[in-house]
C-alpha cells in the first residue's frame, strides 16, 4: 500500500476551535468585534504587555508600521533579498525604495556586516527577516539602528515563539510583525499582528486598519489620514484563540521532528551527498521551516526535477525563496544578477522539506530516504 501524500505543511485545527467558530457564526457578530479584542489581549500577554493589534494579513502590518514611522517617497529602507516578496513590496507601497543587502551564508539572514555600507542620507528604516524562524542577531541589529537613527520593522512572520537570548520575539524591539497564514506555526486562516511601542502608535494602527476612521460617541466620525481595509474578522480571531495556547506545544513538536531530520542527515551515506543543512539551533528557533541547500554542482538534475521526483514519491516540497531583487519589478529599479551573489546562489539551490506538528517520526525518515535516493541516483560521474 502506498503511503498517503505528505504535504509541505498542514495546519492543526482542533475540534474545540471548529466548534468555537460555529459559536461565533451563530452569534451574529462575525466581523471585527469581541474576539479580535480577546486575541489582541492574549498576544499582548506573550509580548510583555506591549500593545498588539491584529490585521487581515502579515503584509499590511509592515506597511502600516512604515507609515507610522513616517517612511514615504524619497526614503530608502534596507532589507534582505531572501524572503517572500511582501517584505519589499510594502516598501514600494509607501513610495520608498528598497535597498537589498546580501545575506549571511550560514544563517541565511541579512548580513549585518554589510548594512552600514548600504545606509545613505535617505535611509529611514531596516526590515530584517527571521528566515525559517531563526532570529537575526537583535543586539547587533539594534546597535546599528540606534547609532544611525533608524526605525526597525521586524519581519517576524516566521518567528512567533522564537527567542533571542532567552527573550521571546515581540517582547522587545521596535515594530514587530507576525503572520498567521496557514503555513505558519499558528494560523487565523489569514491574518497577522503588529506589536507596537505605545498607545499612540496603537491608535494610529487602528486608524490605518480601517479607512482612517476615528469614532466618538454615537455619531461622531473623523478621517484625517488615508487608511485601508485591513481588519481581522471575529471568525478568524476565534481560530487564533484556539491556536495561540498551543503554540509552545506545536513548536516543541517541530523541534522534535527537526532533531529527526538532523539525525537522519548525519549518517555517512547522506553526509556524502553534500547537502547543506541549517544551523542546528534548538533553544532560540521555532523551526518554522526545515530547509536544505542542494549540491547543484554535483547533480545531473535541476532542483525542479528533484521536487518533481519527490512529488511522484508522495512528498511535497517548496522553495523559500527566489531572490526578490531578480524579479521583474525590482530589475526595473536597477537590480541585476550578480549584485547579491550569496543570496542568489542559495536562492537557486534552497529546498524546503515537510515540517508540521501532525507529521510522524516515520514521515521524517521517509523524506530523507527519498531525497537521498534521488540525489544519489543523479550524481555527476
What span, in angstroms and rounded, lies between the C-alpha atoms of 105 and 92? 27
Cβ atoms of residues 303 and 296 within 8 Å: yes
Q: Is 380 a catalytic residue?
A: no
Instruction: Exactly one of 35, 184, 229, 380 is catalytic; name it.
Output: 184
Peptide bond into 321 cis (omega under 30): yes
Instruction: Give the DSSP per-residue string, 42-90.
Output: HHHHHTTT--EEEES-TTHHHHHHHHHTT--TT-EEEE-SSS-THHHHH
How many CA atoms does the CB half-sphere of 49 hold within 13 Å? 0
What span, in angstroms and rounded, lies between the C-alpha atoms of 135 and 159? 7
**Alpha helices of the chain — where are they, by DSSP H?**
15-27, 34-46, 60-68, 86-93, 115-118, 138-148, 199-209, 234-243, 247-265, 268-271, 303-312, 328-331, 341-349, 361-377
Q: How far is CA 367 from CA 310, 316, 352, 374, in A?
A: 8, 9, 11, 11
Give me 146's grid cell: 540606534
What span, in angstroms and rounded, lies between the C-alpha atoms of 284 and 165? 7
The DSSP output letter for 112 is G
Question: Which residues are catalytic, by number?
Answer: 184
Amino acid at each position: 500500500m502506498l503511503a498517503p501524500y505528505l504535504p509541505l505543511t498542514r495546519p492543526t485545527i482542533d475540534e474545540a476551535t471548529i466548534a468555537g467558530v460555529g459559536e461565533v457564526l451563530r452569534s451574529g457578530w462575525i466581523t471585527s468585534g469581541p474576539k479580535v479584542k480577546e486575541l489582541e489581549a492574549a498576544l499582548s500577554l506573550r509580548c510583555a504587555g506591549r500593545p498588539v493589534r491584529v490585521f487581515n494579513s502579515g503584509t499590511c502590518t509592515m506597511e502600516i508600521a512604515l507609515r507610522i514611522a513616517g517612511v514615504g517617497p524619497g526614503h530608502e529602507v534596507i532589507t534582505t533579498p531572501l524572503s517572500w516578496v511582501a517584505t519589499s513590496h510594502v516598501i514600494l507601497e509607501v513610495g520608498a525604495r528598497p535597498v537589498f543587502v546580501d545575506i549571511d551564508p550560514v544563517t541565511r539572514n541579512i548580513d549585518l556586516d554589510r548594512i552600514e555600507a548600504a545606509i545613505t542620507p535617505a535611509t529611514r528604516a531596516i526590515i530584517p527577516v527571521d528566515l525559517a524562524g531563526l532570529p537575526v542577531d537583535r543586539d547587533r541589529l539594534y546597535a546599528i539602528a540606534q547609532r544611525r537613527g533608524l526605525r526597525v520593522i521586524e519581519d517576524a512572520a516566521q518567528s512567533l515563539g522564537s527567542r533571542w537570548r532567552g527573550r521571546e520575539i515581540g517582547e522587545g524591539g521596535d515594530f514587530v510583525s507576525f503572520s498567521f497564514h496557514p503555513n505558519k506555526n499558528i494560523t487565523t486562516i489569514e491574518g497577522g499582528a503588529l506589536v507596537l511601542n505605545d498607545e499612540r502608535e496603537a491608535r494610529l494602527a487602528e486608524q490605518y486598519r480601517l479607512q482612517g476612521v476615528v469614532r466618538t460617541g454615537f455619531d461622531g466620525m473623523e478621517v484625517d489620514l488615508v487608511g485601508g481595509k485591513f481588519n481581522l474578522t471575529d471568525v478568524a480571531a476565534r481560530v487564533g484563540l484556539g491556536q495561540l495556547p498551543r503554540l509552545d506545544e506545536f513548536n516543541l513538536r517541530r523541534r522534535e521532528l527537526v532533531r529527526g531530520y538532523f539525525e537522519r542527515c548525519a549518517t555517512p551515506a547522506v553526509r556524502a551527498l553534500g547537502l547543506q543543512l541549517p544551523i542546528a539551533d534548538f533553544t532560540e528557533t521555532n523551526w518554522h521551516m526545515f530547509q536544505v541547500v542542494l549540491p547543484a554542482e554535483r547533480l545531473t538534475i535541476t532542483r525542479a526535477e528533484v521536487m518533481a521526483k519527490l512529488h511522484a514519491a508522495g512528498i511535497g516540497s517548496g522553495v523559500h525563496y527566489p531572490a526578490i531583487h531578480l524579479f521583474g519589478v525590482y530589475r526595473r529599479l536597477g537590480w541585476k544578477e550578480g549584485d547579491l551573489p550569496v543570496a542568489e546562489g542559495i536562492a537557486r539551490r534552497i529546498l524546503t522539506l515537510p515540517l508540521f506538528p501532525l507529521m510522524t517520526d516515520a514521515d521524517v525518515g521517509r523524506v530523507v530516504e527519498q531525497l537521498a535516493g534521488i540525489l544519489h541516483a543523479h550524481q555527476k560521474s
